[in-house]
């Protein structure tokens, strides 16, 4: 028997069936992340059991994923320490930290399953697109009161789909939109009409969320994706295709926006939301004044003030993930969060343009992560389920690259040994 034959593993149909089943269960979990009308949502119930079972039955955390686990662990230790300085510890504060720990474990879980089998990335994004299209359509139909009871999918006259907050609903749709946009720019023209329809649905749903953070995230990520793809592609013909199709998509979205603005209800709220400073932003204790006071308070409270306490002191919550890290997780949590973000961004950037099967997914997740860093200045993201999914995707792709490089090194060592 040759060395090559010895390395060939016999096909095990039972093992293949189990792998397929667990991958589909994982994808179903991603799908459920788009439906959070009440809490605990079905996503939490499925993921708690799924994460426990995967690790119980041998899912390993490699050296490439271990830093993600360590940094998220330190971040949540900061949250636990912040609870100790509270005069009265309530159940809701303990539950808040418990949810933070759970979400951190989901990020590690996604990173580990992607490293184990990078082919799962396609299934993850397909499930995310399916959830986004459905919840986006619910938001659109709810906004226009298309059927009795549809107002449950709106809040403050803003679309929120199967979410509890339009400000979470809008950003959730951005990564699936980028996936469809990338497929349109890279794929066959015959498949473009379906992708364009999906892009229009998601774009319109983001618009009707009337979330300025979601609008900014949408525009930044779309432009960044086109820019990175232009950098990556070397042929002028392909670059021209990207520019033409991008322009076509922009024209289609502008036309859809003009049609939407013909409705008085849409136009009125659009004019209000496009004002640079909203009523709740300015004033003595407006959003920006609270940010200033909060950062000053952080200088005096190294362990923070505890989760959910900022909103009891001031009229509103932090609405700033960096301030939230200081207040709810203390300086320990803040520094670990900043280290996590910096590490993730640098790692993703190193591997961004390498020709790998997982490169498109890494590119999309990395761009979305950058966008979330920007909107984090005006919104809290520490309990957004899809934010931890994005973290897991970037780290999973980074771990897959680490494993790939290790195999290449071992292959070269064997070649040198054989030559000697």
Q: What is the pLDDT of residue 284?
A: 59
Confidence of residue 243 (pLDDT cuts 50, 70, 90): confident
Q: Can you tell me the distance from the alpha carbon of 207 to that of 257, in angstroms, rounded to the nearest whole number?
A: 8
Q: What is the pLDDT of residue 139?
A: 96
Q: What is the pLDDT of residue 287?
A: 72
Evaluate if residue 189 carries a pLDDT over 80. Answer: no
Q: What is the pLDDT of residue 133?
A: 98
Q: What is the pLDDT of residue 4?
A: 36
Q: Which residues pair with 158 in a beta bridge?
A: 155
**Average pLDDT score over the chain:** 87
Evaluate if residue 93 carries a pLDDT over 70. Answer: yes
Evaluate if residue 174 carries a pLDDT over 80. Answer: yes
Q: What is the pLDDT of residue 7?
A: 42
Confidence of residue 328 (pLDDT cuts 50, 70, 90): very high
Q: What is the pLDDT of residue 1?
A: 38
Higher-confidence residue of 310 and 250: namely: 310
165: DSSP letter: -
DSSP string over 80-112: HHHHHT-SS--HHHHHHHHHHHHHHHHHHHHHH
272-301 b/e (C-beta count within 10 Å ≥ 16 → b) = eeeeeeeeeeeeeebbeebbeebeebbeeb
Q: What is the pLDDT of residue 128?
A: 98
Higher-confidence residue of 9 and 93: namely: 93
153: DSSP letter: G
Kind and range of the H or E element at 155?
A: strand 154-155
Q: What is the pLDDT of residue 166?
A: 95
pLDDT tens, position by position, 292-316: 888 989 899 999 999 989 888 887 8
pLDDT tens, position by position, 354-408: 999 999 999 999 999 999 999 999 899 999 999 999 999 999 999 999 999 988 8
pLDDT tens, position by position, 1-28: 334 344 444 656 666 676 778 889 899 9
Overall average pLDDT of the 205-224 stretch: 93
């Amino acid at each position: 028997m040759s060395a090559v034959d010895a390395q060939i593993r016999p096909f095990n149909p039972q093992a293949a069936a189990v792998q397929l089943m667990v991958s589909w269960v994982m994808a179903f979990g991603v799908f459920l992340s788009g439906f959070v009308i009440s809490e605990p949502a079905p996503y939490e119930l499925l993921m708690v059991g799924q994460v426990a079972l995967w690790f119980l039955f041998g899912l390993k955390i490699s050296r490439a994923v271990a830093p993600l686990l360590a940094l998220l662990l330190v971040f949540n230790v900061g949250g636990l320490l912040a609870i100790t300085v509270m005069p009265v510890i309530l159940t809701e504060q303990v539950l808040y930290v418990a949810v933070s720990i759970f979400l951190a474990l989901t990020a590690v879980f996604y990173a580990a399953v992607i490293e184990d089998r990078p082919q799962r990335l396609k299934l993850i994004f397909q499930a995310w697109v399916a959830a986004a299209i459905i919840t986006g359509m619910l938001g659109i139909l709810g906004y226009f009161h298309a059927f009795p009871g549809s107002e449950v999918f709106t809040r403050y006259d803003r679309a929120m789909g199967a979410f509890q907050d339009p400000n979470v609903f809008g950003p959730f749709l951005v990564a699936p939109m980028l996936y469809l946009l990338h497929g349109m720019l890279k794929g066959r023209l015959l498949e473009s009409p379906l992708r364009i329809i999906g892009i229009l649905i998601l774009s319109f749903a983001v618009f009707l969320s009337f979330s300025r953070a979601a609008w900014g995230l949408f525009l930044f990520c779309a432009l960044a994706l086109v820019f990175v793809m232009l950098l990556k592609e070397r042929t002028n013909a392909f670059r021209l295709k990207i520019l033409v199709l991008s322009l076509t998509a922009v024209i289609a979205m502008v036309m859809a926006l003009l049609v939407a603005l013909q409705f008085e209800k849409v136009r009125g709220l659009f004019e209000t939301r496009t004002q640079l400073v909203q009523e709740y932003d300015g004033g003595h204790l407006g959003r920006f004044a609270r940010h200033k006071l909060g950062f000053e308070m952080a200088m005096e409270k190294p362990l923070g003030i505890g989760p959910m306490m900022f909103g009891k002191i001031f009229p509103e919550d932090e609405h700033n993930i960096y301030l939230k890290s200081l207040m709810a997780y203390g300086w320990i949590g803040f520094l670990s969060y900043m280290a996590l973000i910096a590490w993730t961004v640098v790692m993703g950037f190193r591997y961004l343009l390498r020709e790998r099967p997982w490169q498109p997914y890494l590119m999309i997740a990395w761009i979305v992560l950058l966008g979330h860093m920007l909107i984090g200045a005006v919104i809290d993201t520490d309990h957004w389920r899809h934010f931890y999914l994005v973290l897991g995707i970037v780290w999973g792709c980074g771990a897959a690259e680490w494993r790939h490089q290790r195999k290449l090194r071992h292959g070269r060592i064997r070649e040198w040994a054989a030559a000697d």
